[in-house]
């Protein structure tokens, strides 16, 4: 029923003539900017701090104008009254909810259940408006510190507009523009000492920059990770702290993402970020999982045994944390303590019995345990044939323990080729055990016809 109502409203909007478009007179705004540009270029006027304040305010106003009347929770009727009629309207979604998008020259506004929930700014009146405004406010204060109160009022308004824009762009998934807006909000607050700049804006900028970097490759990715690293360093220097300590997890990714520039330099930095984080925030399972992944993925960065105390302590506080149990299994596998490894993955199955991953990895590490025994057996010198066969039979019983887990994994995801290949090979190896020949015939046929 809700969707039908939305369709009706949207149809009405389509029928509206765009006689009252968004209240942004582009020509007028451009003329204002040209006027203040001319003022600072004039030798006499440009020597006055007040001229630079006026220049900054004009640019700040032009930056905020396209979204000035927007805000989350603002009723749809106020949108029409304050912004004007949209040029178009269409149905879409916002955060999984049906939405109407009102399309204006500068922004698309997303309305859910009669309230503004987000917007996407499509263009600006002029490029680098906020950056220019910040620079001009800084110039005014530098020329005459007595302008501090006026500059402070101006940069606070601009910072608020930038932070709101950052939040809106983030909600729309535009992390690049969101990161830029949050960073500029902090830069604006730093113009005068009377304002205590909020390092949360830097954290938001760094987090979004790191998220974006993870989607890139090569030099482009490393440049973005480097930028994130610098933003986070500045945030910590400015006194940033959060309840969870996730900043250290993001810093780790910033260093780890640059490892190809020099592994000897960046891997130790990545490790130190995680160790610092876990010392300050010992209950942060995200950082601990990052440590486990790092220790097991990169040779030579540390002994995984260092992590066991951290893991066991965390599991006492959070005994049903699937990721911790998964990580515990990986750590014990790296230490070649296969029984504890398998115990961990059996716990993962207990927590998520109908998921492919824990069932498959329980089987996988049972096979790893058996393979280690095969390697040990084959490296034992001067063993009689009879003793070899007896020990090999014991190893086959270990391999056999993997079959039920593989069959469960295959039942959950019959398209996974690795599971079917393991079943084919193991059942052939174990074909002399009761019932295994029938299983081999079944899985071999499936394997050959995959």
pLDDT digits (tens, 9 = 90+) for 116-159: 999 999 999 999 999 999 999 999 999 999 999 999 999 999 99
DSSP state of 241: -
pLDDT at 123: 94
Cα atoms in the Cβ-side hemisphere of radius 13 Å centred on 129:
24
Contacts of 382 (CB under 8 A, 6+ apart): none
Confidence of residue 190 (pLDDT cuts 50, 70, 90): very high
**DSSP SS3 for 326:** helix
Confidence of residue 282 (pLDDT cuts 50, 70, 90): confident
Q: Quick one: tokens of 347?
A: 């716990």
Mean pLDDT, the chain, rounded, equals: 92
For residue 356, give Cα distances in angstroms to 40, 319, 350, 368, 447: 66, 21, 12, 18, 19
Cα atoms in the Cβ-side hemisphere of radius 13 Å centred on 172:
27
For residue 104, give Cα distances in angstroms to 10, 78, 85: 15, 15, 8
User: Distance between CA atoms of 82 and 383, rounded to whole angstroms?
Assistant: 90
Confidence of residue 21 (pLDDT cuts 50, 70, 90): low
The mean pLDDT value for 183-206 works out to 97
User: Distance between CA atoms of 25 and 48, rounded to whole angstroms?
Assistant: 29
User: Are 395 and 360 contacting, i.e. CB atoms less than 8 angstroms apart?
Assistant: no
Each residue's pLDDT tens digit, 71-102: 999 999 999 899 988 999 999 999 899 999 99
Does residue 249 register a pLDDT over 80? yes
User: Are 201 and 185 contacting, i.e. CB atoms less than 8 angstroms apart?
Assistant: yes
Q: Quick one: tokens of 223?
A: 């440049």
pLDDT at 2: 34
pLDDT > 90: what percent of the chain? 80
Say what the pTM is: 0.75
Order of strands, sheet of 115-121, starting from the edge strand that comes earlier in the sequence:
88-94, 97-103, 107-112, 115-121
The H-assigned helical ranges of 146-217 are 148-171, 175-189, 199-213
Confidence of residue 279 (pLDDT cuts 50, 70, 90): confident
């Amino acid at each position: 029923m809700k969707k039908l109502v939305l369709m009706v409203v949207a149809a009405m909007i389509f029928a509206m003539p765009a006689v009252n478009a968004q209240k942004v007179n582009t020509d007028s705004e451009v003329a204002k900017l040209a006027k203040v540009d001319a003022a600072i270029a004039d030798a006499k006027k440009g020597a006055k701090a007040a001229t630079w304040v006026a220049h900054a305010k004009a640019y700040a106003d032009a930056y905020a104008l396209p979204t000035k009347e927007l805000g989350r929770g603002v009723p749809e009727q106020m949108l029409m009254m304050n912004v004007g009629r949209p040029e178009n309207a269409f149905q879409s979604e916002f955060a999984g909810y049906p939405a109407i998008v009102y399309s204006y020259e500068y922004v698309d506004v997303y309305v859910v259940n009669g309230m503004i929930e987000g917007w996407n700014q499509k263009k600006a009146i002029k490029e680098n408006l906020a950056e220019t405004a910040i620079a001009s406010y800084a110039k005014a204060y530098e020329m005459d510190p007595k302008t501090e109160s006026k500059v402070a009022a101006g940069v606070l308004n601009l910072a608020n507009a930038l932070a709101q824009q950052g939040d809106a762009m983030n909600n729309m998934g535009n992390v690049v523009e969101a990161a830029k807006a949050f960073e500029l909000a902090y830069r604006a607050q730093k113009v005068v000492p009377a304002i205590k700049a909020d390092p949360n804006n830097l954290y938001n900028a760094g987090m979004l920059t790191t998220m974006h970097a993870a989607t890139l490759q090569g030099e482009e990715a490393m440049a973005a990770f480097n930028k994130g690293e610098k933003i986070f360093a500045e945030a910590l220097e400015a006194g940033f702290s959060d309840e969870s300590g996730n900043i250290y997890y993001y810093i780790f990714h910033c260093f780890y993402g640059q490892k190809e520039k020099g592994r000897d330099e960046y891997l130790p930095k990545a490790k130190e970020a995680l160790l610092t984080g876990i010392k300050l925030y010992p209950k942060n399972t995200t950082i601990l999982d990052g440590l486990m992944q790092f220790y097991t993925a990169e040779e030579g960065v540390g002994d995984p045994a260092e992590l066991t105390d951290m893991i066991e302590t965390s599991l006492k506080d959070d005994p049903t944390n699937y990721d911790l149990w998964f990580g515990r299994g990986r750590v014990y596998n790296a230490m070649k303590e296969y029984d504890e490894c398998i115990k961990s993955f059996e716990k993962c199955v207990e927590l998520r019995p109908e998921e492919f991953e824990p069932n498959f990895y329980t089987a996988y590490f049972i096979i790893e345990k058996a393979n280690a025994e095969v390697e040990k057996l084959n490296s034992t010198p001067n063993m009689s044939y009879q003793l070899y066969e007896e020990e090999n039979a014991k190893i086959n019983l270990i391999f056999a323990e993997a079959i039920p887990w593989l069959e469960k994994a295959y039942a959950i995801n019959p398209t996974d080729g690795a599971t079917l290949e393991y079943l084919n090979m193991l059942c052939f190896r174990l074909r002399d055990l009761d019932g295994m020949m029938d299983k081999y015939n079944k899985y071999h046929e499936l394997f050959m016809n995959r």
